[in-house]
Structure 1
Amino acid sequence: MKAKLGMSPIAWWNDDLVELSDDVSLEECLRQSRSAGFTGMEKGRRFPDDPAVMLPILKAADVTLCGGWFSGTLVDEDLATNKARIAPMIELFKAVDAPCIVYGEVGRSVQGDRSRPLNTKPRLDDDEMKAYGRTLTAFGEWCAEQGMPLSYHHHMGAVVETEAELDTFMSHSGEGIPLLFDAGHLAFAGGDVLAAIDKHHKRINHVHVKDVRMGVIDALDRSRQSFLDAVALGAFTVPGDGSLDFGAIVQKFADYGYEGWFVVEAEQDPKANPPLTMAQLGYKELMRVMTNAGYTVETQGFPKG
């Protein structure tokens, strides 16, 4: 089985908490992640939106674009509005041969608002979730028809956060909307990571290997502290530096024959946790557990020729 290892630039520059950002260029960010061993990088705020500009940067770094976040609002806004916003991103991602666009629901979400405590997250009743699942399926099918699949990201603070919400969303949506599985977000939400992979592996087309520090999470006052407070306190980290057993997680994916991207997305203070050091630590741990699980990790970055 083959796998690819990527990173998210959120380790270098945080889009929601600017104070948790390293003052490094896009080129330096790519250089550091590639030197640690990673062959892919998800899109961040310092990436150009013109493929003619982006491709030479990726080629020089020997890195491929392995995904990127789209802030979806389908819980509140219509298909046409979201289609219009995502259309330029689809064209960009097709031009640079990215594997998927990550759909993150920001409608009603508290994830980006530091004044909103964790326990004020939005909740959908069953009828609302049914309608939401149908809408996301239609949107995912449309994006795939345009040549770029989506990957739905369950997320702390959003309408699909908990294991129960994920199960309900998956039951009311169809194969037209694949799933991004994020072990860190599900563990933060109190879910059973391995059980969720068992239930939803057929729909998973992208994986974020985010670790958590459960001591930080368990100490949170969810009636007072926000998701961004948790990030600033160090709730997340790279595999091998937190509480999750990525040996068991990766083995579970191997058991189901998953092949594709495993992306380290670990937002934390780059001054306390230097991104290059953390990238090296995460890569070493992932290579250990992936080798044990029988994966061959691809070492080629930007396509040759």
Structure 2
Amino acid sequence: MADKNGITWGIAPIGWRNDDIPSIGKDNNLQQLLSDIVVAGFEGTEVGGFFPGPDKLNYELRLRNLHIAGQWFSSFIIRDGIEKASEAFEKHCQFLKAVGAHVAVVSEQTYSIQQMDDKNIFTEKPHFTDAEWDKVCEGLNHYGEIATKYDIKVAYHHHMGTGIQTKEEVDRLMANTDPNLVGLLYDTGHIYVSDGDYMDLLDSYIDRIVHVHFKDVRKDKERDSREKGLTFQGAFLNGMFTVPGDGDLDFVPVYKKLVDNGYKGWIVIEAEQDPDKANPLEMALKARKYIDENLLN
């Protein structure tokens, strides 16, 4: 059920179990995750790497009246070519259709360092050549054509440690893709850590945003992680990210901008954390309290 402004609130499974480091939260199962989401008062979640197939997942969702907002897709247009990458993407869309989701969260992962254990996430991000940029944009437009057949929107996720991370890179992506085929996933935490600002991207592409992640940042932990030259995984294990209401970002102007411009999609709370240090249900309840008291009052 959407809020009074037509926005649906979800929370990502990454606080319970982390796909990049499977050992983190490995004892947290699907039933616990979904039941915690109900207790915390959210409407749904995104698909995690440990989720079962559509039949089992839909059964568990129906028991709790929950919904799937979308799912991450690791794209390899540059590495594999458009045709092969598109075959994988179409299978992704078929799964999303089967679980009633309408958003494909796409990130081009060729050259990504986000899972590497020897790369400084703050200084060693990859960059695409002009030819690679052309290929990525052409491929993403083709993804959009595929997704349309399944009533799904492509939401491109600007992400730390990838070739499309900064506002400048998002500018190039948006300028060279079809607005009818490629939308933007706006992630507060990733763009803040990347560029030191999170409103400029929102203001620039409010009309292209089709999916939203609310990720908070602990600025002291970010500075510490930057000074230590940590990897992406090292930085989030150091506590750089957290849920809204537990960090230093102000989500009031973000939510107001979305509402004032008629955004009607999902806002998904997402924070990579170690569940042994940050109890997932406690974090979910903290985020829900912040939303109710600061955004919906």
Alignment TM-score, normalising by the size of structure 1: 0.90
Q: Distance in 2 between matches of 1:177 and 1:261?
A: 17
Q: Which string of whole-angstrom CA distances, capped at 9 and with x for unpartnered residues, describes residues 42-62 of structure 1?
A: 00122112x222211111122
Match of 2:166 in 1: 162
Q: Which string of whole-angstrom CA distances, capped at 9 and with x for unpartnered residues, describes residues 155-182 of structure 1?
A: 0000111111111211122211111100
- Out of 246, 250, 258, the residue aligned to residue 255 of structure 2 is 250
- Out of 276, 279, 286, the residue aligned to residue 281 of structure 2 is 276
What is the correspondence of 1:87-98 to structure 2 with a 5 Å cutoff?
Answer: 87-98=90-101
- Out of 261, 264, 276, the residue aligned to residue 259 of structure 1 is 264
The answer on 1:20 being equivalent to 2:36 is: no
Q: Which string of whole-angstrom CA distances, capped at 9 and with x for unpartnered residues, describes residues 73-132 of structure 1?
A: 113221221222122321221122112111122111001112222222111244543442
- Out of 188, 194, 211, the residue aligned to residue 189 of structure 1 is 194
Secondary structure in 2 matching 1:42 = strand
The count of residues paired between Structure 1 and Structure 2 equals 291
Match of 2:238 in 1: 233
Match of 1:103 in 2: 106
Moved more, 276-285 or 83-92: 83-92
Unaligned runs of 5+ in 2: none
Match of 1:80 in 2: 83
Alignment identity in percent?
34
Question: Partner letter of residue 234 of structure 2?
Answer: D
What is the correspondence of 1:35-54 to structure 2 with a 5 Å cutoff?
Answer: 35-49=39-53, 51-54=54-57
Structure 2 CA distance for partners of 1:173 and 1:222, relative to 1, 3 Å = farther
The answer on 1:216 being equivalent to 2:221 is: yes
Relative contact order higher in (CA < 8 Å, ≥ 6 apart): 1
Q: Distance in 2 between matches of 1:22 and 1:127?
A: 41
Alignment TM-score, normalising by the size of structure 2: 0.93
Match of 1:296 in 2: none
Give 1:222 shift. Answer: 6.6
Match of 1:200 in 2: 205
Q: Distance in 2 between matches of 1:82 and 1:61?
A: 34
Secondary structure in 2 matching 1:178 = strand
Give 1:64 shift. Answer: 0.7
Task: Please give the root-mean-square deviation of Cα atoms over the aligned residues, in Å.
Answer: 1.7
